[in-house]
Amino acid sequence: MSVFITGLGVTSALGCSYEENLAQLKLGNSGLKEHVLHDSSCIMGCVPKSNLEIVGAFNLSNQAYSRSFLLGLCAAYQARTSVSSKLPSRMGLIVGITVGGMDLTEASYQQYIENKEKLDWLRLRQHPSGMVATQLAQFLEDIKFTNTISTACSSGANAIMHGAKLIEKGKFDCMLVGGVDALTQFTIKGFQSLMLYDKQACKPFDEARNGLNLGEGSAFLLLESERSQRATGNKILAKLVGWANTNDAYHATAPSPVGEGATRAMSAALKMAGIAPEAIGYINAHGTGTLNNDLSESRALLDVFSHQVPPFSSTKSFTGHTLGAAGAIEAAFCVMALQQQQCWANLNFTQPITDTKLTPISILKDAQKLNFVLSNSFGFGGNNTSLVMSL
Amino acid sequence: MMYIEQFAGISYQPPFDVEAPLHRMKPIDNSAAVHEADYQKYIDAQVRRRMSDQIKRGVTCAMRAVEGIDINALHAIFVATGLGCLKDTQQFLQVSLQSKPPSPTAFIQSTHNSIAGQIAIQLQCKGANMTYSQGERSFERAIMDTYLEELQEHQRVLVGAIDERIPFLDQAIIRINPIDQDSIVGAGAFFFLLAPIRTAQSKASLVDCILTSSNQVSECIQIVHRDTPIDLLLYGNYCEAQAQINQNLKHIPSLDFTLYSGQFMVQSAFALDLALKFLEEENIQELQQLCPTIKRLPRRIFILNDTPMGMSGLIVDRI
């Protein structure tokens, strides 16, 4: 059974709409900049809209909202309203997220450390990861089912996969699926403590790569079954034709050095799509810019594509690593690639990794005929997800 | 329909490896502490030293629940958690806000899927690995995903739920949910090995998972009851359940399981573990200690979880 992608919403360091993100991808302009978040000053990918601006734009009541919810709302609302027709009454929502309302939690916890009496405990209600989905469902009104998946950096891709499975099995005709995460001190300090945070802009797949930069954002895809799409007549932007999730069972944070789980995820997603590896015209790689990921992913690419690796890039050089949102934002960029028949650049690349000698696309590339694209999302806990999309 | 072959739980009640577990159960009070299992039997000393308590609990229950099976048949690991690894989260938060150079261990273990990831490593299970975190519905979401899997006869799915209690959570809940002043915060880890077909190892069948957004307890129970009589109702009381049960459903033997588990987001997993213990017990007097109105060994147990998100129900049948 086909799963159609008919709606799309994206919010990232590149902008707060489909059009803004697309324009920056085409121009090759990165959204990564030096910013200060509390006492951390580093290169990150901030969404160019404040919480106040988002609260104002959606006429929300005067209370504290987690930035995760607000970013999610921007993207989910775009995806939901990008289709004009009335949707089936039973629509599900799945959110991929890693740290929930941590931005509010850390502000509250700071108060707690300074003076317990001053702490606004109610803000902690937005801490649980599932709250963003609950809040989005309240705002969007026609959501009848919510779920939240938290598998670190593959959360967004897994949310999409799970939504596609529910449609494929006939449980739902329409799903709003995606991911979200806001920048927090917690995650920035976390990756810094792991020595994985590059002080400069990240250089995915470059021999001189030295880690990642975090970003924030959200993307949501509206998935429809054939039956739903026939009834709504919504324009098909792309189809989701293959997906797979595997586990390395190797290490808590590091990927298998030979990309074993990644190889299996890509191969299984291709098999499900019923296509040979050479049918893939563009790969949006996980490509965090860390020493381990890029080497292991390169080896997996060589393995799956038998040394004939299709054009690939990591758009984290534009957005930063948006954690729970990454898989969803990158799936959205894949839909844009299919729509535009263009492959996005991998910025800051100069020299291939000595071991694997793979060269990503370093400038925007027009595709001859882009029919199938692959998006990789890997995460802590050895979690690997690959999605295959087609025109 | 799925079949439960093996299970293990760690909670405020005696852990999985004791004799006569029902006999040893006691209602909890505020001094309740998790009854830890003998982790050294399951996890290598070097690995164990680095693990948080919560991860030790999860890994141990998972290992116990898959004991003796061919690990190649383990198709997927699905874990539910409402709040993830709170202790590590708080620890890393505290240090990172005070600008001390933090150690990464707490950050690594704070990630929600660190439990499922560690289980995969310890079991060497390379199949699908998911972590669900949808508040009070997290465990039901994990179970529902197993129903989506097209399992071959020999394949198994390990489904579990886990949450922990820290003093800060106690303080927060009292202030966030003023109606819950008397409730005790629960904690624990619970894992179940599910099979798509009935085998000689089947202990019970998980007939269905029902979710509604309403809190009409009696309506929901009557629908289930009409089909096959419910012999025991295990309910988690959030606000409505008890009053409605007292009013309309006195004829069904029932037990508020949260008196034994405390209240927490994945408490229905405790109830499933308890239901399976009820089904394993052949001595009716043991059952009557916990539920005096029960007259015969139950065939069908209905777990009703009344939560702020609405109700969820799990139907468990004797094999």
Task: Give the integer Cα–Cα distance in Å for B115 and B79.
Answer: 8
pLDDT value of residue B100: 75
Residues of B in Cβ contact (< 8 Å) with A165: 148
Closest-CA residue to A247 (of A390, A339, A116, A384): A384
> What is the tens place of the pLDDT at every residue in B202-244?
999 999 998 877 767 777 777 777 778 899 999 987 666 777 7
- A382 touching chain B per CB within 8 A: yes
Average pLDDT over chain A, rounded to whole?
96
Superfamily for the A241-390 domain? Thiolase/Chalcone synthase (3.40.47.10)
Nearest chain B CA: its distance from A129 CA (Å):
6
Note the pLDDT tens digit of each residue in B128-179. Answer: 999 999 999 999 999 999 999 999 999 999 999 999 999 999 999 988 876 6
Using CB atoms, which residue from A146, A248, A381 is nearest to B134?
Answer: A146
pLDDT digits (tens, 9 = 90+) for B71-100: 999 999 999 999 999 999 999 999 988 877
Domain B2-195 matches domain B204-318 at the CATH topology level? yes
**E-assigned strand segments in chain B:** 2-10, 74-80, 128-132, 156-163, 188-195, 204-212, 232-236, 254-256, 300-307, 310-318
Mean pLDDT of A5-32: 98
Asked if A381's CB is within 8 angstroms of B114's CB, the reply is yes
Please provide the average confidence, as pLDDT, over all residues in chain B.
92
Which pLDDT value is given to residue B178? 67
Say whether residue A127 is in contact with chain B using an 8 A CB cutoff. Answer: yes
Interface confidence, given as ipTM, is: 0.97
Mutate to test the interface with B, among A150, A171, A180, A378 (most CBs of B within 10 A): A150
For chain A, residues classed under CATH 3.40.47.10 are 3-232, 241-390
Smallest CA–CA distance, residue A342 to chain B, in Å, is 32
Mutation for B interface: A120, A123, A189, most B CBs within 10 A: A189
A133 touches chain B (CB under 8 A): yes
pLDDT of residue B282: 94
Residues of chain A with pLDDT > 90, as a percent, come to: 91
Q: Does A118 touch chain B if contact means CB atoms closer than 8 Å?
A: no
The neighbouring-strand residues paired with B188 are B163
Query: Does B96 sit within 8 Å of A147, measured CB to CB?
Result: no
Touching B: A residues 94-113, CB under 8 Å? 97-98, 100, 105-106, 109-110, 113
Architecture of domain A3-232: 3-Layer(aba) Sandwich (3.40)
pLDDT of the residue at A360: 98
Instruction: Judge: A380–B113 Cβ closer than 8 Å, yes or no.
Output: yes
In chain B, where the domains are located:
2-195, 204-318
**Topology of domain B204-318, per CATH?**
Peroxisomal Thiolase; Chain A, domain 1 (3.40.47)
Q: pLDDT tier at A37 (50, 70, 90 boundaries)?
A: confident
- H, E, C per residue of chain A: CCEEEEEEEEEECCECCHHHHHHHHHHCCCCCEEEEECCEEEEEECCCCCHHHHHHHCCCCCCCCCHHHHHHHHHHHHHHHCCCCCCCCCEEEEEECCCCCHHHHHHHHHHHHHCHHHCCHHHHHHCCCCHHHHHHHHHHCCEEEEEEECCHHHHHHHHHHHHHHHHHCCCCCEEEEEEEECCCHHHHHHHHHCCCECCCCCCCCECCCCCECEECEEEEEEEEEHHHHHHHCCCCCEEEEEEEEEECCCCCCCCCCCCHHHHHHHHHHHHHHCCCHHHEEEEECCCCCCHHHHHHHHHHHHHHCCCCCCCEECCHHHHCECHHHHHHHHHHHHHHHHHHCEECCCCCCCCECCCCCCCCCCCCEECCCCCEEEEEEEEHHHEEEEEEEEC
The two structure tokens encoding residue A312: 């690939």
pLDDT in tens, B27-74: 999 899 999 999 999 999 999 998 999 999 999 999 999 999 999 999
CATH topology of domain B2-195: Peroxisomal Thiolase; Chain A, domain 1 (3.40.47)
Put simply, the answer to whether A150 touches B84 (Cβ < 8 Å) is yes
Residue A38 annotated among the catalytic residues of the structure: no
